[in-house]
Amino acid sequence: MEIKDLTKAEEQIMQIIWQIEKGYVKDVIDLLPIPKPAYNTVSTIIRILEAKGFIGHHAFGKSHQYYALISKDDYKRHVTEKLMGGYFENSVESMFSFFVKEEKIDLSDMDEILKMINNIKNKPR
Q: What is the pTM of this model?
A: 0.78
Phi, psi of 94 (to 5 degrees): -65, -45
pLDDT in tens, 4-59: 889 999 999 999 999 999 999 999 999 999 999 999 999 999 999 999 999 999 99
Q: 72: closest CA among 118, 2, 3, 1?
A: 3
pLDDT at 9: 93
Specify the DSSP element, H or E, that contains 99: helix 92-101
Beta bridge partners of 60: 63
What would the mean pLDDT of 88-94 be, rounded to a whole number? Answer: 82
The answer for 21, left when phi > 0, alpha when psi is -120 to 50, beta otherwise, is: left
pLDDT at 37: 93
The DSSP 8-state label assigned to residue 64 in this structure reads E
